[in-house]
């Protein structure tokens, strides 16, 4: 190819290169020394000499999370046509229009774009005002959690090593941002007051955001996201809430992120099993129980037993924590048995005629699509047979 080169001053070029080479040695040398002394050093964990982040390429992580997230990326304009979102690209719009042409008039009616007013009228037709308030109370609890998930995942970008893991976490940041803004419109469509965060939720989420480094993975991806996906799972079958299946799919991927990451960059034995780390994890999780008690009435209005819900959340959290290496003060079967004993005690005091049972075996995810996704993630979770103490606590 013919390109007309411009004249330059070779001496000036040489000098500029020499100056840069000297400065490069000084800047990097200083940062290297400060880094070794633990006094700072280079801020970015970036390895420009290999054109990747410290920790390597980690393409496995990229494939499992970044590529998969993009494959499963959903747009609010298509999933919630009644909302104010306008996020479909021209090609996606054209595809939708072609699909509309290929469907029968009856199918077109089902697929018809609901306006905001029509969506609200549909909600009014399906739900009593108290049921609408119950849905908003439960969903907004998760909505506030989405705000924190957005912040926590953004801060995790600095904590994970390798280009693949950073790409994976970046997709989580994007998805949490989408969850927050879309959930806000979904909750607003119910037209009832939106409650503030409860004190328990405030304590739980502030604790997660303030946690050290990868402990945020435990607090957010294992603990909070399991609560979120369990709520989505319990509500996705209700009319007007089908979009929660998509939230559920994203959250399932997010709960698997710590396990996939820690396979490549395992926690040290001390980080996994240290006395203080294990206690901190239990303390971080404790506000969850009074939070679920606070939601007991709203969950009951929606036909969900708060203790069945809590049991199913705890079983999943115990399973994911141990698989990722975030050990709790006692082994999962023992912890679950103790909590089951507490739940039964509370029920004996507050529910006349309560018969002891194993709440840890409960499953509140009713939707078929959701149940299939959960089967894949929790395939080898702690079973009742592996929990002799839980069974003993029930019969006690």
Interface residues with Fe ion (CB under 5 A) are 146, 149, 176, 179, 225, 251, 254
In angstroms, what is the minimal distance from the CB of 243 to Fe ion?
A: 13
Q: How many helices (H) and strands (E) does the chain have?
A: 21, 2
d(CA 88, CA 95): 10
Measure Cα distances from 246 to 124, 179, 287, 301 in Å: 23, 10, 27, 24
310 closest CA partner among 377, 352, 359? 359
In angstroms, what is the minimal distance from the CB of 208 to Fe ion?
A: 12
In angstroms, what is the minimal distance from the CB of 249 to Fe ion?
A: 11
In angstroms, what is the minimal distance from the CB of 169 to Fe ion?
A: 11
CB proximity list for 135: less than 8 A, separation 6 or greater: 127, 190, 235, 238, 241, 302
d(CA 241, CA 80): 10
Residues in the chain: 396
Q: What residue ranges in the chain does DSSP mark as E strands?
A: 46-47, 52-53
In angstroms, what is the minimal distance from the CB of 294 to Fe ion?
A: 21
In angstroms, what is the minimal distance from the CB of 298 to Fe ion?
A: 20
Looking at beta carbons only, is 177 or 294 nearer to Fe ion?
177
Looking at beta carbons only, is 144 or 280 nearer to Fe ion?
144
Sign of CA dihedral 156, 231, 141, 359: negative
Looking at beta carbons only, is 55 or 258 nearer to Fe ion?
258
Looking at beta carbons only, is 146 or 367 nearer to Fe ion?
146
- The answer to whether 345 and 332 have CB atoms below 8 angstroms apart is no
Looking at beta carbons only, is 132 or 179 nearer to Fe ion?
179
Looking at beta carbons only, is 64 or 254 nearer to Fe ion?
254
């Amino acid at each position: 190819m013919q390109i007309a080169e411009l004249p330059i001053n070779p001496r000036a070029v040489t000098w500029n290169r020499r100056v840069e080479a000297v400065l490069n040695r000084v800047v990097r040398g200083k940062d290297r020394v400060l880094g070794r002394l633990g006094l700072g050093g280079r801020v970015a964990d970036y390895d420009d000499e290999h054109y990747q982040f410290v920790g390597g390429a980690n393409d496995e992580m990229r494939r499992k999370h970044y590529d998969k997230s993009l494959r499963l990326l959903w747009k609010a304009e298509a999933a919630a046509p009644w909302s104010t979102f306008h996020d479909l690209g021209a090609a996606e719009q054209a595809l939708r229009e072609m699909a509309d042409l290929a469907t029968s008039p009856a199918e077109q009616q089902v697929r018809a774009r609901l306006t905001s007013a029509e969506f609200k009228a549909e909600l009014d037709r399906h739900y009593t005002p108290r049921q609408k308030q119950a849905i908003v109370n439960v969903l907004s609890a998760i909505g506030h959690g989405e705000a924190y998930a957005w912040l926590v995942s953004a801060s995790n970008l600095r904590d994970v090593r390798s280009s693949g893991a950073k790409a994976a976490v970046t997709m989580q940041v994007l998805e949490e941002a989408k969850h927050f803004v879309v959930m806000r419109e979904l909750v607003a469509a119910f037209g009832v007051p939106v409650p503030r965060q409860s004190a328990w939720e405030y304590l739980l989420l502030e604790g997660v955001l303030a946690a050290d480094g990868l402990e945020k993975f435990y607090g957010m991806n294992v603990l909070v996201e399991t609560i979120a996906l369990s709520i989505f799972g319990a509500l996705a079958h209700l009319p007007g809430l089908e979009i929660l299946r998509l939230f559920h799919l994203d959250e399932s991927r997010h709960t698997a992120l710590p396990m996939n990451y820690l396979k490549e960059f395992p926690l040290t034995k001390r980080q996994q099993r240290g006395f203080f780390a294990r206690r901190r994890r239990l303390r971080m999780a404790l506000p969850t129980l009074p939070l679920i008690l606070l939601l007991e009435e709203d969950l009951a209005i929606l036909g969900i037993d708060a203790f069945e819900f809590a049991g199913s959340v705890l079983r999943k959290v115990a399973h994911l924590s141990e698989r990722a290496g975030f050990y709790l003060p006692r082994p999962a079967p023992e912890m679950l048995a103790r909590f089951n004993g507490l739940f039964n005690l509370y029920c004996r005091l507050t529910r006349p005629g309560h018969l002891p049972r194993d709440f840890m075996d409960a499953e509140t995810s009713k939707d078929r699509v959701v149940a299939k996704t959960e089967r894949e993630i929790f395939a080898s979770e702690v079973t009742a047979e592996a929990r002799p103490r839980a069974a003993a606590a029930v019969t006690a």
